[in-house]
């Protein structure tokens, strides 16, 4: 069986629920998946072409303006099922703010405070997004609920950590707009 990368596999997973266009898949990703897996629109469309070439999905009749729906094939279901049985790789932290903070002694504290405050606002928005997930969606799918629970805990931990940055010389984790 052809090896799948996590992005291609996730698209097959989303297609398990029924046919979707590239736009539909991007909307699924935007509902929360994007917070922990970086997927761009060009990446989605490139992966769809590859999945189609491997026979894992089929393109349906193009709809006017609505795009072209894709459906998972039996071969795609088998590839997805096989991918799911592989142990997932370990996470790799890639947080640009931490790189900047590492060299924070070389940066004007006011500028660094602004960077931190902007990141705080982003994490606060993400926390609100996770907390806004409808309860029925969480009760209908305990696996989805586990991911949302992680998102809430992660964002809260980052925000708590950001508050501790106020102990750095000249640094504030807020911009006074709270």
pLDDT by residue (tens digit) across 121-165? 999 999 999 999 999 989 999 999 999 999 999 999 999 999 999
- Whether 177 is in a domain gets the answer no
Q: In which region does residue 32 sit, left (phi positive, over 0), alpha (psi from -120 to 50) or beta (all else)?
A: left
Regarding whether 60 and 107 lie in a shared domain, the answer is no
- Gap between the Cα atoms of 56 and 70, Å rounded: 10
* CB-CB contact of 154 with 160 (8 Å): no
Give the number of C-alpha atoms closer than 13 A to the C-alpha of residue 151, restricted to the C-beta side: 25
**pTM of this structure:** 0.78
Looking up tokens 């947080």 gives 95
Express as a percent the part of the chain with pLDDT over 70: 96
The count of domains in the chain is 2
* CB-CB contact of 125 with 151 (8 Å): no
- Gap between the Cα atoms of 128 and 44, Å rounded: 26
Single residue among 51, 85, 119 that ends a domain in this structure? 85
- What's the chain's average pLDDT? 91
* CB-CB contact of 32 with 151 (8 Å): yes
Regarding whether 104 and 73 lie in a shared domain, the answer is no
Regarding whether 15 and 64 lie in a shared domain, the answer is yes
């Amino acid at each position: 069986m052809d090896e799948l990368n996590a992005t291609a596999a996730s698209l097959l997973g989303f297609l398990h629920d029924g046919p979707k266009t590239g736009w539909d898949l991007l909307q699924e990703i935007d509902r929360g998946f994007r917070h922990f897996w970086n997927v761009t629109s060009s990446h989605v469309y490139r992966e769809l072409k590859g999945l189609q070439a491997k026979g894992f999905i089929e393109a349906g009749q193009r709809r006017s303006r609505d795009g072209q729906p894709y459906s998972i094939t039996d071969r795609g279901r088998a590839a997805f099922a096989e991918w799911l049985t592989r142990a997932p790789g370990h996470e790799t932290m890639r947080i640009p703010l931490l790189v900047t903070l590492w060299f924070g002694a070389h940066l004007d504290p006011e500028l660094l405070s602004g960077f931190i405050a902007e990141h705080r606002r982003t994490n606060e928005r993400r926390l609100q997004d996770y907390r806004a997930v409808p309860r029925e969606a969480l009760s209908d799918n305990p696996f989805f609920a586990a991911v949302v629970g992680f998102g809430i805990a992660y964002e809260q931990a980052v925000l708590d950590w950001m508050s501790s940055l106020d102990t750095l010389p000249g640094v504030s984790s807020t911009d006074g707009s709270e």
